[in-house]
Amino acid sequence: MRAIQIDRFGTPDILDVVEVPEPELGRGSGEVLIRTVATSINPVDDKTRDGAIGEGAPPLPMTLGWDLAGVVVDGGSTGLRPGERVIAMSHQLSTGRGTWADLVVLPAQAVAPAPRSVSLSEAATLPLPGLTALQTLDWLAVEPGERLLIAGAAGAVGGLALQIARARGVEVDALVSREAQVAFARDHGAGLVTTDRDALRDRHYDAVFDTFGAFVTEAVTDGGRYASVATQAGPVPDLSSRGVRTTVNQVREDGAGLTELSELVDQGSLRLRVHAAFSLHDVRAAHARFRQGGLSGKITLLF
Ligand SMILES: NC(=O)c1ccc[n+]([C@@H]2O[C@H](COP(=O)([O-])OP(=O)(O)OC[C@H]3O[C@@H](n4cnc5c(N)ncnc54)[C@H](OP(=O)(O)O)[C@@H]3O)[C@@H](O)[C@H]2O)c1
């Protein structure tokens, strides 16, 4: 079968489509064999290929990829049936199980039904950013009527967090990077939308969801909550003297969370965005486009 692998670190032109042995289902182990239809590129894939992860990355050669939308080939003992449309997130860095391959074996707990109302190409944009948004909002524990600031609200994680928070009845304001993103945030229910962080000073948000390491700590109220997912930006400054709880949240495999996300899509509460779709044979061009930035949705790869 085909897999997108790297055997060294570097720019997108080190990416190759190679032939590798098909993975085997461990009988009775609660695993499922999935045929990949589509996947998407996340910042972690770019950093992994680049060698920016350092120690802790799987050994070379490695198959890349966290997101997966596909069809069950063999559900083993899990109850999943052949032909079911599914989505999954594989924690590629900790398990080495990359999703950019024709066939992928994953634990059933990492798999969920795909949304019925969108294509598998669109569904492939959901797992990693969706779970990051959902799990971080759960940590922030924002209640209906509370006020949340999302920094990077038009990005992959931020755009989904905005929509999930609005579906939960939370008031959301948005910090975005450029004028083109203002309309997106407004259209998806944000109140105040700004490119100027000084406009957020003293607005006393109950919670802040920081997707790019903005550290707009002056915007959170005393006793509030501040979560970053920008691991590379380092820890959130210590705000304990103001009674503010802080975290740098790390996404986890979570089939139940994916089921919740699929339902939100099918209810019309979560709209997914594909900026451009590439064939897996054009993976180098896909990575180059991802690195260029200025995106208004995800880059997907079609198998
Ligand atoms: N901890 C975890 O488990 C976890 C999970 C998922 C993602 N992450 C990390 O979270 C980050 C976001 O991921 P993503 O997939 O959402 O990336 P993304 O789609 O690139 O979103 C980042 C957003 O932040 C915006 N932004 C960047 N700098 C800004 C600035 N100075 N002012 C205002 N907005 C700014 C970007 O705007 P532009 O498009 O204009 O640059 C973009 O809209 C990445 O660093 C990723 O590695 C961590």
Q: What CATH number is attached to the domain comprising 190?
A: 3.40.50.720
The answer to whether the CB of 194 is under 6 A from ligand 1 is no
Question: Quick one: pLDDT at residue 240?
Answer: 98
Low-confidence stretches of the chain (pLDDT < 70) are: none
Three-state DSSP class for residue 71: strand
Partners of 223 in the β-ladder: none
- Asked if residue 183 belongs to a domain, the reply is yes
The answer to whether the CB of 175 is under 6 A from ligand 1 is yes
Question: Quick one: pLDDT at residue 37?
Answer: 98
- Asked if residue 225 belongs to a domain, the reply is yes
Angstrom distance (rounded) from CA 171 to CA 148: 6
113 and 72 housed in the same domain: yes
In contact, 287 and 269? CB cutoff 8 Å:
no
The answer to whether the CB of 293 is under 6 A from ligand 1 is yes
Angstrom distance (rounded) from CA 217 to CA 198: 11
122 and 144 housed in the same domain: no
In contact, 226 and 217? CB cutoff 8 Å:
yes
Residue 6 DSSP label: E
User: Among residues 286, 256, 266, which one has the least CA distance to residue 12?
Assistant: 286
Question: Quick one: pLDDT at residue 56?
Answer: 85
Could you identify the atom of ligand 1 that is nearest to the CA of residue 159?
Answer: 16
95 and 144 housed in the same domain: no
Three-state DSSP class for residue 96: coil
| 123 φ, ψ (degrees, to nearest 5) | -60, -30
Could you identify the atom of ligand 1 that is nearest to the CA of residue 43?
Answer: 47
Beta strand segments in 67-214, E: 67-74, 85-89, 103-107, 111-113, 147-151, 171-175, 193-194, 205-210
Torsional sign, CA 213, 240, 128, 4: positive
Question: Quick one: pLDDT at residue 27?
Answer: 72
What's the pLDDT tens digit per position in 216-255? 999 999 999 999 999 999 999 999 999 999 999 999 999 9
7 and 119 housed in the same domain: yes
Q: How far is the CA of 28 from the centre of ligand 1 (A)?
A: 39
- Asked if residue 261 belongs to a domain, the reply is no
Question: Quick one: pLDDT at residue 17?
Answer: 98
Range of the domain at 90: 2-126+272-302
Angstrom distance (rounded) from CA 243 to CA 224: 7
Question: Quick one: pLDDT at residue 35?
Answer: 98
What's the pLDDT tens digit per position in 168-210? 999 999 999 999 899 999 999 999 999 999 999 989 999 999 9
Angstrom distance (rounded) from CA 179 to CA 171: 21
84 and 173 housed in the same domain: no
6 and 119 housed in the same domain: yes
The best mutation among 150, 179, 192, 211 to test binding of ligand 1, ranked by most ligand atoms within 8 Å of the C-beta, falls on 211
Q: How far is the CA of 23 from the centre of ligand 1 (A)?
A: 33
Angstrom distance (rounded) from CA 84 to CA 247: 37
Distances (CA, A) of 39 to 9, 87, 98, 128, 205: 21, 9, 11, 10, 35
